[in-house]
Amino acid sequence: MKDTFRVVGEGSAVLHTESFDGDPSGAEVTLIYPVGDELRADHYCDLPNQPRFVAQTSPDPNVVDFKLRDVTNLVPPGAEYFHAPIHFVDANYHWQEWEWFKDGKRKEIVRMDFTRKQ
């Protein structure tokens, strides 16, 4: 899996893209952006809904912990969606724990580790 962070919108947002083998058609995309004093993130993936998050203060300054704000297009109610805090260890390594929810309950956790390729 390839993980990319890119500044977009004249510096107004960060586009986080994850794709398998660099295939952009199957990419999962998270747009991270400020709204007032909040840091928000909207996620788009293979599930037909869009979980939206607000970053919460974390005791660890290397963790960006997004808490669920709401989910658009969650049809039927109780459908599946994802949540993933991002743990930045240093400039070359970060990891995520994607939590998969169904009916409002955690179904599975998938940990993914990413190392920058030089």
- Residue 81, by phi and psi: left (phi above 0), alpha (psi -120 to 50) or beta? beta
- Looking at residue 38, its pLDDT comes to 95
Q: Is 22 a residue whose pLDDT tops 70?
A: no
Give residue 91's pLDDT: 84
Q: Average pLDDT in the 9-37 region?
A: 87
pLDDT higher than threshold 90 for residue 12: yes
- Number of residues that make up the chain: 118
Closest CA to 4 of 97, 61, 12, 20: 20
Task: Give the model's pLDDT for residue 24.
Answer: 67
If one compares 97 and 39, the residue with the highest pLDDT of the two is 39
Computed on alpha carbons and rounded to an integer, the radius of gyration of the chain in Å comes to 14
Question: How many other C-beta atoms are found inside a 10 Å radius of the C-beta of residue 57?
Answer: 7
Give the pLDDT score at 74.
83
Residue 57 scores a pLDDT above 90: no
pLDDT at 116 over 80: yes
The pTM for the full model equals 0.81
Q: Residue range 71-98: average pLDDT? A: 81
The pLDDT of residue 98 is 82
